[in-house]
Chains A and B, each alone.
Chain A
Amino acid sequence: MLWLLLFTPLVGCALCAALHFAALRARRAGSSEQAPRTLAGVIACAAMALALALSLHCWWTLAQGAQELELESSVWNWIDAGSFHVELSLVVDHLSSVMLLVITGVGFLIHVYSLGYMKHDPGFAKFFAYLNLFVFAMLILVLSSSLLGLFVGWEGVGLCSFLLIGFWYEKGWPAEAAQKAFVVNRVGDACFLLGSFLLLRLFGTLDLSDIAGANFHQLDGRSAEITLAALLLFGGACGKSAQFPLFTWLPDAMAGPTPVSALIHAATMVTAGVYLVLRLNPLFAAAPTVLFVIGVVGALTALIGASTALLQRDIKKVLAYSTVSQLGYMFLGLSAGAWAAALFHLVTHAFFKGLLFLGSGSVIHGMHDEQDMYKMGGLRKEMPRTFLTFFAGAAALSGLPLLSGFFSKDEILDKNFALGGFHWLLWGVGIASAALTAFYTWRMVALTFFGNARYDHHHVHPHESPAVMTVPLMILALLSLVGGALNLPHVLQDMGLLERWLEPVTRAGDELLARGAEHGVAPHHLADSSEWLLLGFGAALALFFAHRGYHAYKHGPERDETLRAGAPELARFLEGAWQIDRAYHERIVLPLRSGSEVLSRRIDQGGIDAAVNGAGRLTALLGGRLRVLNDGQVKHYALWMGAGAAALSLLWVVL
């Protein structure tokens, strides 16, 4: 059954690809290409519906059965190279069942939405082929029992991301963004590969459950290797999940169609790094140094993302930097050993950020491909359904009380607060970023939907999107509003649903952390009173800054101009994401380009090759007298070759 689940989207992809070429042929022949297009859309969505149903079935089976019950497929003997062999099978456990529901659930809604969004695109069928292929790869990623199988999915989703970012390749810059995404991810992948080699050396296997179930107590003497392996894997996660210093590809990835941004660059693929850490939580728990690094990186990324989102004009860029920032929160949670909280935020984020991206897509669709918020304004009247759902998503993102984002973000911050010590600093950064988040979110809402219309009424006629797009929005809005119930804080519920659900997966990691805590920092629970206090503080903070953000921009973007005029340096710094991307361009890309030129011209052509040609010419010079022999006839050359060889061998014998 798991193989069926896996291959459903692949079959969908193959059919859509065939239909794409059928549509191309029809277009060339001048006949209608509507039939293959419609069919492709239907097939892709049907494949997703089936996958969703199967995922629900997996979840239900797990919910019915004992804690230890695992769904496992037959084994595929992939690589057998003597001492090294890889067997692949598909496994659903408590962690992957949650991922499955997110991927197929949110994925299904986004497929349906795309039916409307991509309706007029000439590459309609191709788009669905790519989307289905993406889901296939993502399923491999979360279902695989082996780290190498996970890597197959890991690279597969990277490929689909590449293809979909560059979907409108004729324009040029999407193709560049696609290349950048792939290459930056490859930097992470190189770390991932090295990490896997180290794991192989440590454990002799790449089987995930073997690694997670390893007896880390016995590996005390090899903690340096464990730390390095965990660090390298986290390096891979930094690439895929757009963490500092590898986050720079994600904002550029917005060049892809908006449903892609929602599915791949918000809800699913970018959370793969979080999934990886969760999947191997005992390994990371056994490497406290790495958890510390994860915390620093996560907090820093949360802050960079949130502060950069403050001044963006492009609505999708705001959401992109927001995604970077929210992923940072997830890692912040992981660093505190708050596994369930990280997964919780992953799920709620999939709801509300998927919703916000789709909502922005609806706006862009209605505004005839306008993404600049400075040229929007007052759209709540023209697009009431988009507005209401977007409002709900924004409320959840900014952490307004009782909504999903409020609970999930709060739990991550609380866990850091509870750890004390250095984690207080991380908590402080997290709180500051939360304030920024509320601010930029409502700035975005105000600029888009409130105030006066700043677009040209003669050319742009905003319109509400069709139901095929707004119904998915409504479902996601509902989930964003009530998603917090998945994992309520301790003061409201003894143990959150998700925390209890995930317990079998995280038990080993928790135990290792607890053992480390005996002679170190203790992850104790907060007293009820402090937890109430923190909840209240978070709520007040979010409300306050949400109000500030709305208030400052409800009449238009003038405030940005004041800031840009008042503190141009700061504005440039923030808009350019702390100038990290520029630094890469100047310090890495350009030197690499000119360096390879120099290598090719000077060293290869001018050095090695010149030496070779020089040696040849020298020989020719010495043999100038023998030019008569150089008559261009190979048989003569062969003769001399034989003679020379004979002479040389004679020399050999004599010596």
Chain B
Amino acid sequence: MLALLTFLPLAGALLIAFLPKQSESLLRLVALAVTVVTAGLGIALYLDFDPAKLGFQHEFTQPWFSLDGYDAPIPIAFHVGLDGISLLLVALTVVLMPLVVLSAYGHVHERVKEFLVWLLVMETGMLGVFVALDVVLFYFFWEVSLVPLYFLVGIWGGERRIYATIKFFLYTVAGSLVMLVGVLALLWNCGSASLPELFTLVAQRLDPLTQTWIFGAFALAFAIKVPLLPFHTWLADAHTEAPTSGSVLLAGVLLKMGTYGLLRFGIQLFPGVAIDAAPLFLALGAIGIVYGALLALAQQDLKRLIACSSVSHLGFVVLGLFALTGPAMRGALLQMINHGLSTGLLFLLVGMVYERTHTRDLARYGGIAKVMPVFALFFVFTVLSSAGLPGLNGFVGEYLILAGTFQVSPLWAALSVTGVIFGAVYLLMATRRVLFGPITNPENEHLVDLGAREIGLMLPLVALVIWIGVQPNALLSKCAPALERVIERVEGARLASASAAAPAEEIR
């Protein structure tokens, strides 16, 4: 079932590859159908998921190949499974995809076939990353998801797309390579690639120093992907140049691969190292929150502004993860979903107004609310969701993160709270400059308001934003047991390191 889910988009991509490229509407329809079916399958999995069960669900294992190890060959398998953590991210991915395909109707008019193929390949890559339970498989999907974005930005992007693409590609590849070293080190030292096995093997087979090195190798790749300060500079360029669909996926899902990695391969796999590294990550997260917000404040380009806001929002996620408390970690996972929804919506909206005005320069907007009242309604709604207005999704995540962090580190929490102020400043500033005031640019006087397709593709996200804001328990209850197990591992490592430093010496 899970394997089917993962490869369904790839099958769709193959199908589209064999269709004639002139019949664009057929291509789009097929892509839409594939993503919708995938979404249906994903939602069925979501509903079927029983949080009370221990371990991974819908596990599927198919031996793949084996790698030479120190003692015995290390079997590598196509091993996938779902727990509460990956479940939410899979759900986010499958829900966003059809909307992304729909949004492409508005801005992709050239080489439609290739575009759709890459989109679907990317979906397989992203889903694979979240469901992979084999470290090598995880790395494989990690790389697979990288390539389509390279093309999406490089071919369908804006004016400086080549610069942005190369920068993004080299930067993340550099991270991936370091991670690959970590993957191989992990394999050879533990003799297994299976994540559930590794959870126990790591503590048994690896001394703390090796653990720290491998953690560092993984964490660097994830930090670039998140992106965590100071590795964030590729993001603004990539976002600014990416087509709307690319931006939505980049912000909505790809960045979450970084935070998911930090949670799964950082904290869960190396709880001991995570405890030691937590102060560093808390600091980077909190500083990132304020830094990203201040950056956003200075931007004149609307898309760049939202990209910078992502740095700030992802800072919240990292903060919540490394507070290592139950509420904060729940908040962090929830905020991954929230950011995907809110920022996804923001990029969709920016794309819609860009298709009409062909500018992202804030100075060339102004007074849009007058001519596009429906657009204004959605825009203000989304901004409020992003700014963490209670009753909408963002607030619950932010509050849990901050309240949970406050219990362990009041100072970083206090610094992060100022992000709440700055968030309001840049978001409302952008809103005012886009929507309000007199229409200063005569070209904007006759803009056409949103059409049915545009409204329709945003409605599911709007509904989710409200639903999560009002009933966050629906999601929290799905992921709570899985996160509790992560916390238990952390607490266990804390106890172990507290009770004795001596046994660690023995292993060496």
Q: Interface of A with B (CB < 8 Å)? A: 21, 24, 77-84, 148, 151-152, 155-156, 159, 162, 166, 169-172, 175-176, 178-179, 182-183, 186-187, 189-190, 193-194, 196-198, 200-201, 592-593, 595-597, 599-601, 604, 608-609, 612-613, 616, 634, 637, 641, 644-645, 648-649, 652-653
Contact = CB atoms under 8 A, between A and B. Distances in A.
Contacts of B410: 197
B181 A201 contact: no
25 contacts: A21-B373, A21-B374, A24-B373, A78-B470, A79-B400, A148-B390, A148-B399, A151-B390, A152-B391, A169-B369, A169-B436, A170-B436, A178-B432, A179-B429, A190-B417, A193-B420, A197-B407, A198-B406, A592-B294, A597-B298, A608-B230, A616-B170, A634-B147, A648-B180, A652-B185
Interface string B350-380: 0000000000000000010110011000000
A645 B424 contact: no
A54 B58 CA distance: 52
A558 to B, nearest CB: 37
Interface string B391-424: 1000110011011101100100110011011001
A63 B387 CA distance: 42
A197 B297 contact: no
Nearest to A604: B295
Given A80-B473, A151-B390, A612-B171, A596 B294 contact: yes
Counting from the closest, the 9 A-B pairs by CB-CB distance are A175-B436, A600-B298, A197-B406, A169-B436, A609-B233, A596-B298, A82-B326, A152-B390, A172-B437
A78 to B, nearest CB: 7
B377 to A, nearest CB: 9
Interface in B286-309: 291, 294-295, 297-299
Nearest to B428: A179
Contacts of A166: 432, 436
Interface string B442-479: 00000000000000000000000000001011001100
A404 B325 CA distance: 53
A83 B325 CA distance: 9
Contact of A172 (B185, B294, B438): B438
B390 A156 contact: yes
B484 interface: yes
Nearest to B233: A609
Contacts of A169: 369, 435-437
Contacts of A79: 396, 399-400, 472-473, 476
A175 B421 contact: no
A182 B424 contact: yes
B313 interface: no
Nearest to B311: A604
Given A152-B391, A176-B432, A193-B417, A81 B476 contact: yes
A58 B461 CA distance: 38
B191 interface: no
A412 to B, nearest CB: 32
B403 A649 contact: no
Nearest to B366: A172
A278 to B, nearest CB: 21
Contact of A81 (B147, B327, B391, B437): B327
B295 A600 contact: yes
A175 B437 contact: yes
Contact of A78 (B234, B384, B389, B473): B473
Residue from A24, A84, A166, A641 with most neighbouring chain B CB atoms (10 Å): A84
A610 to B, nearest CB: 9
B169 to A, nearest CB: 8
B31 interface: no
A284 to B, nearest CB: 21
A170 B367 contact: yes
Contacts of B230: 608
A232 to B, nearest CB: 10
A80 B177 CA distance: 40
Contact of B437 (A170, A193, A595): A170
B390 A155 contact: yes
B416 to A, nearest CB: 10
A82 B331 contact: no
A343 B425 CA distance: 33
B167 interface: yes
A155 B389 CA distance: 7
A348 to B, nearest CB: 31
Given A604-B233, A634-B147, A593 B327 contact: no
B260 interface: no
B173 interface: yes
B480 interface: yes
Interface string B229-245: 01011100000000000
B448 to A, nearest CB: 11
A633 to B, nearest CB: 12
B480 to A, nearest CB: 7
